[in-house]
Chain A
Amino acid sequence: METLLKPTLYATDGTLQGGRCTCGHVFFPMQGHGCEVCGRHGADLQPMVLKGRGKLLSSTVVHLHIDKARAAPFTIGKIALADGPVVRTLLVDPTREIEPGTAMVTALVPVGRSENGQTILDLRFAPET
């Protein structure tokens, strides 16, 4: 059995839990505080499933990190999602920078095991194959 590390942010099919304002602004993650473009809130902000694909803007291998729970090296990518928002998160390959412009897709990777023995999955990005 598997479980997601952050189920409010993404689903098992690799999509992301974003939102859309009636003004048209698409954002990630879903939130109800208010739209960053127009300030509408409440029912004007609706959940929107964002496709787990996009284009790499930049990536970098992190050689040093203060938090020992995140052992370096790891790679951070900045990805412009096909649906609009730009996200920054970990890439699957911890040691390799990727050419800007590369098409990227989400992947769920095991990051640990829960108390009841389920594999915990977290979302990463990798080049589309």
Chain B
Amino acid sequence: MARTLKDLRPVYVVGVGWHRYQNPSETPYVTLGVTAIRDALADARLDWPAVESAYVATALLGMASGRPMLRHLGATGIPLSHVENASASGSTAFRQACIEVASGLTDVSLAVGVDKRNPVRRDSTGMDNLAEDAIAQFTHFSLLTNEYAHRHKVSFEDIARVAVKNHRNGAKNKNAQRQQERTLEEVLGGKKVAGSLTALQCTPVGEGAAAAIVASEDGIKRLGLDTSRAIRVIGSTARSERVYAAGLGFDAVLTKETTTIALQEAQVSPQELDIIELHDAFTVEELHYIENIGLCPEGQGVHLLKEGTLDIGGRCAVNPSGGLIAMGHPIGPTGIGQIGEIALQLRGEAGARQHPKARTGLAHMVGVGAVCYVHLLQRP
């Protein structure tokens, strides 16, 4: 019988750090990456030689980008792997680090995500297609927006409220790419990209880095780390797309499948979630995902949004970091940055963004493919 993460050794997030997500610049990726790692080491009050393995998440830097970065921390000779899994690269690297610690192979492991905005190259599958070159990501999600609005009789204005909330959260986050509050009029008034989707309802892909250090109880004890700030990883689940009935949104169905398993394995109900960081690259996604995570029935997400249920201080703070829409989505770092935000929230260290009495958090990421990753974190 296969086991779950919870059956293995307990794993804790002990340090988190960032290089701010930002518009593309001349800053070398090495600077971005080492800044985030040093931030995470300082947060953990840990020295680099204590780290026993490293997973580098990057989708756009090309081959073997990790060693030219990590060597500047002192080349300790630790095993190093690169993880590419589209938008879920960071989440995947984090999962690998957790698995390695949980299995007992290491006591302290690092997941770091770093990326610059470079062109995406995908080799041909050998199959032609009708007009995939005409279907950008925002076009895919504009189709979903129109389907959602039609099926649930929801207005585009209400869907756009996701962006208002997430820009409001991002305005309080020093690591966010967009740190400006926006009114609904501003969100709706911006440049339209496809259908009703405006630029402020889409993630700004930029650059940045995020790091998370995970440790076992043995590691925490041996290194004298602060147990009161350690956040336990109580679940890690990953799935990829199957063949679904025509008309079902694969991102939403895959989210439901993955989250259901994750919550069941960790014995957590959706109502117990205080914090959710999810893949809101486009506004409609947040509604799809909160519904499929189980916060409310399908088509009811807008009501929660308008009631303030999803605000910081509401029943469950969704994307308190600002989410992909405001915090940004530099690809490799994004999933690790979600873990960092949840760790801050569960420790009570999120400052102006602090959600009161946060105990349990869920990180959700989908990636082109499609793949889906869900992590559950809890304050002991």
Residues of chain A touching chain B, judged by Cβ–Cβ distance below 8 Å, are 6, 8-9, 25, 29, 31, 33, 36-37, 57-67, 70, 74, 76, 78, 80, 84-90, 97, 100, 123
Contacts and interface: CB of A to CB of B under 8 A. Distances in A.
A66 B136 contact: yes
Nearest to A66: B136
B142 interface: yes
B133 A76 contact: no
Nearest to B150: A100
Interface in B122-137: 125-136
B194 A60 contact: yes
Given A67-B133, A88-B130, 19 more contacts: A9-B129, A25-B243, A36-B243, A57-B143, A59-B146, A60-B146, A61-B194, A62-B142, A63-B193, A64-B191, A65-B134, A70-B134, A84-B246, A88-B131, A88-B135, A88-B143, A90-B134, A100-B147, A123-B130
B62 interface: no
B84 to A, nearest CB: 22
B125, B132, B191, B247 — most chain A CB neighbours (10 Å): B247
Contacts of B135: 76, 88
A8 B129 CA distance: 9
A62 B139 contact: yes
A49 to B, nearest CB: 16
10 contacts: A25-B243, A31-B127, A63-B193, A64-B193, A66-B136, A67-B134, A74-B134, A76-B194, A90-B130, A90-B134
A84 B243 CA distance: 12
A63 B196 CA distance: 10
B194 A29 contact: no
B246 A60 contact: no
Contacts of A84: 246
Contacts, number: 92
Contacts of A64: 191-194
Contacts of A29: 127-129
Interface residues of B, number: 29
A6 B130 contact: yes
B192 to A, nearest CB: 5
Contacts of A37: 243
B350 interface: no
A128 B130 CA distance: 20
B129, B130, B195 — most chain A CB neighbours (10 Å): B130
Contacts of B143: 57-60, 76, 78, 88
Contacts of A90: 130-131, 134
B195 A60 contact: yes
A57 B131 contact: no
Contacts of A67: 133-134
Contacts of B146: 58-60, 97, 100
Contact of A61 (B130, B132, B144, B195): B195
A85 B147 CA distance: 18
A36, A63, A66 — most chain B CB neighbours (10 Å): A63
Given A67-B133, A84-B246, A62 B194 contact: yes
B243 A87 contact: no
A78 B129 CA distance: 14
A100 B143 CA distance: 11
Contacts of B130: 6, 9, 87-90, 123
A48 B144 CA distance: 29
A38 to B, nearest CB: 10
A93 B193 CA distance: 18
A8 B243 contact: no
A1 B133 CA distance: 27
Contacts of B139: 60, 62, 76
Contacts of B247: 57, 80, 86
A9 B128 contact: yes
A97 B130 CA distance: 19
B100 to A, nearest CB: 31
A96 to B, nearest CB: 12
Contacts of A65: 134, 136
